[in-house]
Structure 1
Amino acid sequence: MRSLRRVLGLAFGICWAAAWPAEAHAVTASIPERAPSLAGEPVTFDLTIGDAVGPVQVRWDMGDETRTEFMVDDVQQVHSYAAPGHYPVLVTVKDDVGFTSVAFVHTVHRPLVTGDAAGSTDLVYDRPNAKVYTANYENDSVSVVDTNALTKLAEVPVARGPVGVALTAQGKLWVLHRDAHALSIIDTTSLAVESEVRLPYASQPMGLAISPAGDAAYVTLMAVGKVLKLDAASGAVVAELSLGGTPRGVSVSHDGAQIYVTRFLSGDSHGEVARIDAATFQVSTRFELAADTTTEDTDQQGRGLPNYLFSVGLSPDGLFAWVPGKKDNIFRGPFRDQLALSDDNTVRPLVALLNVAEGVEDVARRIDLDDRNLPNQVVFTPLGDYAFVSVAGSALVEVRDTYTGEFVTALKETGFAPRGLALTETDRLFVHASLSRTVAVYDVADIISSHDLITKKLADIPTVAAEKLDAQVLRGKQLFFNSEDVRMSDQGYISCASCHFDGADDGRVWDFGSVGEGLRNTVSLLGRRGTGHGNVNWSGSFDEIQDADDNIRDLFGGKGFLSAEQLAVGTVATPRGDKKAGLSPELDALAAFLGSLDTHHPSPFRNPDGSLTQDGVAGRAIFKRLGCGFCHTGADGTDSAGGKLHDVGTVKASSGMRAGEPLLGIDTPTLNGVWETAPYLHDGSAPTLRDVLVTANPEDRHAFTSALSEAELGQLIAYVQQLDGTVDLEPSEGDGAGEEPSEEGLFGCSVAGGRGDRHAPLLSFALVAGLMTFGARRGRPA
């Protein structure tokens, strides 16, 4: 079936061509606009003809390969379309003088369910009051927009880190706070915060949806792998369900019977969306989004593992769920299939379509958004025939034909990092450009009616009065997200956020052999303060954030932010060479942004008051006794600032090199925040912390753990899981941790025989999928 772009091109092209003979003859023809029809049901088209000269003959092309021959006075067609779609109807009329044509698009849709589904979002539409509300994450506020006047009415201060908004049937606005791990309830008339519901400590609540049935609300807790069921009136927690993984997006079906939850970070084999039965509050289906290992890598398609599953959009016919995310090509690279990563085939955007009746993904209908980056939310037209997909990294909204999946058009100039979407009954689309601090508004009536593809932007409405981020830091974060800038990515696929959307890791191990490195595991960038810990990259190959310009050009396919003339001066073009700082305002802004990232996510493994557990306290003593603080030292838990590299038996052939030079060891990473960054080690070869200490610890070279009992090993792991930057790892005087080890001393490893410093990081550190340390905002995710 043809896409709307082709359909309208055909239809309007024919009308334009048919206009040429209009002056030569007087025959006219028209067909009253028909309302969309249901698949399988007959629809009648009546043709009106005027000013004909002699007999009139008519030929019909119904757009579904049904055509008639020219027949006299054939002015009516009753036709049934077997399948939903957008059909280009063409009617040709001729008389004794000449001819004319009528062309239009007729929409055929599936039966619709009653009511609307609900889904987590940072922008929500209040239809009765003609308002839109946005959650302003970095600025700790909620903005109120008048959808008629297209002006901001108010900005309401709220608790830290608002990430989601939802409306109850009683007109209350619920606001979900990731950083404050809380829920606020606001009266939409007075705009006063009426109450606050505390959620589990450090749980990272990320998704909020209120059931259309009005009987419950649901919240995802990404840090602890749970979903909460809340009372829809008070917000009190009614029940909890352990899903595992990193639950993020949550949606509820039109009747409130089914709940859909995305696993944001995928495992190594597939992506996942869980379907929960609302009545029993138990998982009924786990949709597996299979890794694509067979598609040929080209400039328009490629292999990859579905990851970063942001949300679920439920179609108005109740048959499909659209899941936006990305595809990570972890099957490509010199150490894997001897093919170098390219800007076309590292990460690609996807939308997966779930067949909700069959409980599986319809893999054949998976959509690859060409030349795009980070799709994250989907809303549908009332008939479900078009889907609007916000694409955060590309600063636009794509429009897709839901029946074919094909591209229709794009709403551009949304502003930076568009996320939440809302479509009103007046055919206005509201788009939250989260990093531009605006709501962009588009008139999409002609797109919805299949009349035209022209996008009509109506307004950019400011949402934030007093910006909390420093101007250079905000600019750096905008650059961090934006792949539309050809200096960042020529094809538009990759930005720094592609692997660090929330400033954390994407759970993937990349093969960077083509740029002189090796297998590199992505981990969180929070708390690093840019180069606050020392050199960056697993191999410590960059001594300033501005060195990332090398990989932007080599791996992102970008033109880079430095000119050829600048790179030709001295050793500027060389990592750890002459300084790049001060040569590019954009690179300096990125460095400022990363420098502002000075905190880690709090660990949910601690006590509810944030203190260490009993096992954590015991584990800290073991940590000191083993001398782990020799390398993981000080508040940052690293000796990286000294430029040291260590090999604890994990460097191997697949570890590659250090920017083309021999790799003698690995940079010591911080242990703060490692509770959420599995897998571990520079090549991801340790799935768990236990694997780091046991299975990936040859000859006790990493730490002398073979002498620990199971209980002690568990306590040591408990301590490491609770490290989040609030415990100083500096060894205490007199506890032996700072003493020089003997040949078979505290570390269980030899430091003699010219082997160098072999006691090294317990865990490791990566950057921009192993490329650079670009992360989230000051102490918070992106």
Structure 2
Amino acid sequence: MKKRISTGTSHSNVVVGGVIGVLILTLSVVFTMQAWAKETATLAVAAVTAAPAVFDTPMNSSPIALSANKQHIWVVNPDDDSVSVIGDLDNNPHVIAKIGVGDEPQSVALGVNALDDTKYYVYVANAADNSVSIINVTASTPTSITTTPFGRPEKTIVTGAEPWNIVASPDAKRVFVANSAQDTITVIRADSRTVVGNVDLRNSICNDPDRNRVFQPRGLAVTLNNDRLYVTRFLSFTKEGGTQGADDGKEGVVCELNIPADVATLPTVAGVVKLGSQDTGFNIDANGDGTPDPTRAFPNQMQSIVIRDNQAYLPNIAASPSKPLKFNVDTQAFVNVIDNAATGTPTDASANKFINMHLGARDPEPDKTKLFFANPWAIAFTTQSGTGNAYAVSAGSDLLVKLNVDATGALSFTVDANTTRYIDLNNPEDPATADANAGKNPLGIVIRNGDTAYTMNYVSRNVSVVNLATDQVIQVIKLTDLPPAGTLAEELLVGKEMFFSSRGHFNRPAGTTASTDNRLSSEGWQNCGSCHFAGLTDAVVWQFVPGPRKSIPMNGTWSPHNPFDQRMLNYSAFFDEVEDFEINVRNVSGPGALATPIAGSVQDPQHGLIISDTGDLNSAPAVINQFALPNAGRPQQTVTLPGSNTDWPALTALKEWVRFAIRTPNGALTTEELTAGGGATAGGLSQSDVDQGRRLFFRAGCQKCHGGTKWSISNKDFAAPPDAAEIFTEAGAPNNAFGGQFLDRFLSDIGSFNLGVAGQGNDIGNNVGAVELAANGQTGLGKDHNGDGKGDGFNIPSLLAISYLPPYYHNGACETLACVLSNDEHRQSGLRQGQSDPLSSAANQAKVVTFLQSLDADTGFPVNLSVRRHDIFADPPSPIKGDSVTLGANVSLFGTKPDLANLLTDLGQAGVTVRFTVDQGTVSPAEVVVPASAFLQDFGQAVVTTTWDIPADAARRANVTVDVDPADLILEAKETDNSANRRLRLRNAPPDRTAPVVESVAISDDNANPFNDADAITQSEDV
């Protein structure tokens, strides 16, 4: 298994100085940070003296950070593996430097030099690289920086899998890294830039009551007095007595750690703050009795935490998953609050100080569009105590939302209970925010001097500068270039925008009367990313139309190694194209069908991406369905990026982004990998357990369902639409089952219908599974309700990064992989007939869990053996009847030789059996045993031969069949490629047309009896 791990490179110092005043030297350099990051950096270098500064506020993790002397802003650029430095903040803010770092930087933290604030260290968390880059700023002015080594990081440390966030303490003595797929916090000493150690949060009280759960540390904050560290759990799990699919079934968790005075000592876990569900303030008729019912939601996707005074604030995408599933009662814009964050015992203050920002969007300010505040991701304050304002970024709606904060820390709206101010960062009608000035998908914010905000805009690759006195965008700073026009990279950026926007701005040709803005949801309420963080999952089980369904991680939609290998979609093979999710855009995120059809269509012409099949932008499509009419390639809205001349079909671009650009998170690192990268080993996996778990995984036949390069055998093997004979429903079922269409042959039944639902006789764990009811109260799909032999089971999910993507099963019945492995029926479904269960012991189950914790896109694939028609050969290639020839086949191994060797050993076999069968003559031996060593390499071939005796009276054509593993001892994801047949032409023996060769001459003396040696010459008739 290979991991992407960087180790820093040492370089000589660059010294530039002056003796009097300020000497500024502008240098353009080309530098490299690892093989994949190449940039041109322009650095303005100066030697100056300034008064020292320290951080005067609590610190929090963020993709954008302000230096202690408030002269520089550092911003990560995840798309090109760099960080940008913005300087000259008092006059003309602009990028003064750009430095390459590791793969996919997500967060940046700044240190401070107590003696000279022009010198400081910068720490960058590189999520995809499992590392932290450390940059040494050795000199700076408001308009310049210089680094040692010049233009690149000083060193790189491997801290753990997926370090998404990083924060420095206000005294800059320590740096804390949240390794989200390792469940650890790495502590770095700032004086030596070395690792003190790791705090293992998975095995702490913060992860009780079930330490088999992943913790996924994410948001970080340190109090001003440097004695407390807060860490958010990104995804929420069920509370005690809670169940999946319930509005109050889960709770958020924040872990509190005490920071000791000694920098060489690790922090200790001090306590846990649990954040329960809250009343959303929105009502809906949930039970169909005609009376609106209150709704609740639990905090989820807690990306950040910010401390102000004695409170901590947590913007998050709260979830309300129970029926009915409609935009205005499923995802909410919460800011939860913790009291006593700096002193005293921290407690959940949400009952009095929390706010659902969506409520403040119900009645917008005059002359403003009604827009809800999708995906609150970060927050910042104008003051650190007393009264002031908070500004929260709405990542989905491209808005900066203004709130009031009072002296007690309570949040409120700026106008009234229905209205709060927002600043639109992406208003195409305003030149300050249009075209290249649009701020798309803001993920971070800093406020400088209480009067100017800077937002990091991920999709548009820029920073919006906002004057907080006027609440207007006054400048936009480009961080990095957009992709070249007409390229795949540009199409993927358009697709990313469609995925992460709750609004959308589209091309508007002359004559267009339908809306070309805000089509992606109803009034900007939500986007794809609301439930699929980074294209993955929010871990919520939603009460969807076909039944309870966890948000499927979309990294397994296509194989990361084969863009033509697509999994069927949804748990019931309910869709077959990503474009089918136009149905969700219109009916879940959007307002749904029209009460009164227009031109015979109930589709709303003001929403969605697909337009009329005539190409008329002003008309809606006549029909949008699951299967009969493919949705791929239909006429649709288009988007043109700033500076481009290419109109990209928006829905196609979104599909391509899912196909090519969703990154599978890295698996947890082993202790050996952490050590090699300079990190600490606490929380690391045992390589021995990973190896043994992998072997047990294959021995148990798990690859029978979870094989192939996407670790699922669910493969779309047809061009849409599917054959009508393959489409089934549960129509006519006596239990009022949901009647939607599905493709039965992609379902696998492991007995998981109503799994973990109390009272259903299918218990597992704590019975937290969601009950099998569809959104309209009907019984959900997953069972053969109408007795036609179809409908049992669910579509097999991918295992790519499975440890990072809980819960498990369609209805969330298990929140841990340990729970999944405890399920006898599931675990034993891959065993051969008569085979004993190698995973019956808890110890072996634990080893498989360890292997799954390491599984990612770089993990070696399950073994598959194959032979194809053209792999069969004869030598000589034109066999002659009556001859003996060599008959052979090139058998292919997809996988590694050690895995195959282990499989054979576990089966008690010396090798893979290859059987040759002919219908003319005989072969000897008919079966050849091929050891794993016979394959030339991993993912290589073995040449297998035998002898073929062809009878002289054979027919003109001979059929040759080669069967690999004919007894089917080796369980594979694809069993259909183990046999191949080829017809070989047999030639007759040629006639003997060669002229005789004279070797000697004999003369006879007797015509009557020639060549008679007993005939004496004297008696010869010729004498």
TM-score, length of structure 1 as denominator length: 0.72
| 1:348 pairs with 2:380 | no
The residue type paired with residue 366 of structure 1 is F
State which drifts further: 274-283 or 599-608: 599-608
1:328 aligns with 2:319: yes
Secondary structure at the residue paired with 2:327?
coil
Q: 1:441 aligned to 437, 446, 465, which one?
A: 465
Q: CA deviation at 1:253?
A: 1.0
Structure 1: which 5+ runs fail to align?
1-112, 334-339, 446-453, 748-756, 758-782
Q: Which residue of 2 aligns with 1:168?
A: 111
Alignment match, 2:550: 521
| Residue in structure 1 matched with residue 665 of structure 2 by the alignment | 601
Following the alignment from structure 1 to structure 2, what is the Cα–Cα distance between the partners of residues 422 and 301? 36
Q: Offset at 1:507? A: 1.7
Q: Secondary structure at the match of 2:237?
A: coil
Alignment of 1:54-203 (within 5 A): 115-126=56-67, 128=69, 130-146=71-87, 147=89, 148-170=91-113, 171-188=120-137, 189-191=145-147, 192-201=151-160, 203=161
1:680 aligns with 2:834: no
Give the equivalent residue in structure 1 for 2:896.
none
Unaligned ranges ≥5, structure 2: 1-53, 114-119, 138-144, 203-214, 240-250, 261-265, 285-291, 359-371, 415-420, 427-438, 505-517, 592-606, 637-648, 675-684, 718-744, 755-771, 774-778, 866-899, 913-963, 977-1023
Report deviation, 1:677: 1.7
SS at match of 1:592: helix
Alignment of structure 1 residues 133-532 onto 2, 5 Å:
133-146=74-87, 147=89, 148-170=91-113, 171-188=120-137, 189-191=145-147, 192-201=151-160, 203-244=161-202, 245-269=215-239, 270-279=251-260, 281-292=267-278, 297-298=283-284, 302-315=295-308, 318-330=309-321, 332-333=322-323, 340-356=324-340, 357-364=344-351, 365-370=353-358, 371-382=372-383, 384=385, 385-403=388-406, 405-408=411-414, 409-413=421-425, 415-425=439-449, 427-445=451-469, 454-465=470-481, 467=483, 470-485=489-504, 486-512=518-544, 515=545, 517-529=546-558, 532=565
What is the CA distance between 1:467 and its match in structure 2? 4.1
SS of the residue 1:406 aligns to? strand
Distance in 1, Cα, partners of 2:179 & 2:705 = 33
- CA distances 1:257-307 after superposition (whole Å, capped 9, x unpaired): 211111111111210112211117112231110123796635998411111
How far is 1:528 from its partner?
3.2
SS in 2 for 1:587: helix
The one-character-per-residue Cα deviations of 1:560-584 (angstroms, maximum 9, x if unpaired) are: 1123556987875334633432422
**Structure 1 pair 136–187 and aligned structure 2 pair: CA distance change class (3 A):** same
Distance change >3 Å, CA 114–CA 128, structure 1 → 2:
closer
Encode CA deviations 1:218-261: one digit per residue, 9 max, x unaligned.
11111121112211123211132122211111111111121111
What per-residue deviation string (whole Å, max 9, x for no partner) do you get for residues 398-454 of structure 1? 111012522222121251111221212272211111111111011113xxxxxxxx4
1:696 Cα deviation after fit: 6.2
Answer with 607-616 or 590-599: which moved more. 607-616
Structure 1 CA distance for aligned equivalents of residues 825 and 281 of structure 2: 37
What amino acid sits opposite 1:288 in the alignment? K
CA contact (8 A) 1:700 1:706 kept: yes
Distance in 1 of aligned mates of 2:389 and 2:571: 44
- Structure 1 residue 607: Cα displacement: 5.6
> Alpha carbons of 1:599 and 1:574: their partners in 2 closer, same or farther (altered >3 Å)?
closer
CA distance in 1, matches of 2:863, 2:829: 21
Contact 1:265 1:307 in 2 (8 A): yes
1:346 counterpart letter in structure 2: D
Name the CA distance, whole Å, in 1 between partners of 2:670 and 2:174: 29
Please, which of 712, 725, 732 is the counterpart of residue 638 of structure 1?
A: 712
CA contact (8 A) 1:197 1:236 kept: no
Check the 8 A contact 2:252/2:298 in 1, yes or no: yes
1:547 and 2:580 correspond: yes
Q: What displacement does 1:634 show? A: 2.1
Instruction: State the distance in 2 between where 1:606 and 1:699 align.
Output: 25
- Contact 2:541 2:551 (C-alpha < 8 Å) held by counterparts: yes
What amino acid sits opposite 2:492 in the alignment? V
Deviation at 1:391, TM superposition (A): 1.4
Equivalent position of 2:855 in the other structure: 723
Secondary structure of the structure 2 residue equivalent to 1:547: helix
Deviation at 1:669, TM superposition (A): 2.0
Equivalent of 2:796 in 668, 679, 702: 668
1:522 and 1:696 mapped to 2: Cα distance?
25
Say whether residues 1:626 and 2:739 are aligned partners: no
Deviations 1:753-781 (A, max 9, x none): xxxx9xxxxxxxxxxxxxxxxxxxxxxxx
For this pair of structures, how many residues does the alignment match? 613
What's the CA shift for 1:395? 0.4
* Inter-partner Cα distance in structure 2 for 1:522 and 1:375: 19
Cα distance change, pair 301–494 in 1 and its aligned pair in 2 (3 A): farther
Give 1:695's aligned residue: 823
Contact conserved, 1:344 with 1:491, CA < 8 A, in 2? Answer: no
Whether the 8 Å CA contact 2:800–2:855 is kept in 1: the answer is: yes
1:693–1:705 Cα contact (<8 Å) kept: no
Check 1:504–1:698 CA distance in 2 against 1; reply closer, same or farther (3 A cut): closer
Q: Which amino acid aligns with 1:588?
A: T
Sort the Cα spacing of 1:296 and 1:630 in 2 relative to 1 into closer, same or farther, 3 A.
same
CA contact (8 A) 1:127 1:424 kept: no
SS at match of 2:629: coil
Determine if contact 1:431/1:441 at 8 Å carries over to the other structure: yes
Q: CA separation of 1:239/1:481 partners in 2, compared to 1, >3 Å: closer, same or farther? A: same
Alignment partners' CA distance in 1, 2:827 and 2:166: 48
C-alpha displacement at 1:157, in angstroms?
1.8
| Counterpart residue type for residue 493 of structure 1 | W
Distance 1:291 1:432, change over 3 A: same
Shift of 1:502: 2.6
SS in 2 for 1:719: helix
User: Cα offset for 1:636?
Assistant: 2.0
> Residues 702 and 254 of structure 1: is their aligned pair in 2 closer, same or farther, counting only changes over 3 Å?
same
Question: Does the 8 Å contact 1:528/1:597 carry over to 2?
Answer: no
Task: Summarize deviations over 1:666-717 as a string: whole Å, max 9, x none.
Answer: 2222222112122211211122223223336269446577564413333333
Contact 1:649 1:702 in 2 (8 A): no
In structure 2, relative to structure 1, the CA distance for the partners of 1:154 and 1:294 (3 Å cut) is closer
Change (3 A) 1:277 1:708: closer
Partners of 2:85 and 2:837 in 1: CA distance: 59
Question: Shift of residue 640 of structure 1?
Answer: 1.2
Distance 1:723 1:165 in 2: 27
TM-score by length of structure 2 reads 0.56
Which residue identity does 1:390 align to in structure 2?
A: V
> Take 1:396 and 1:160, find their aligned partners in 2: how far apart are those partners?
28
- Secondary structure in 1 matching 2:383: coil
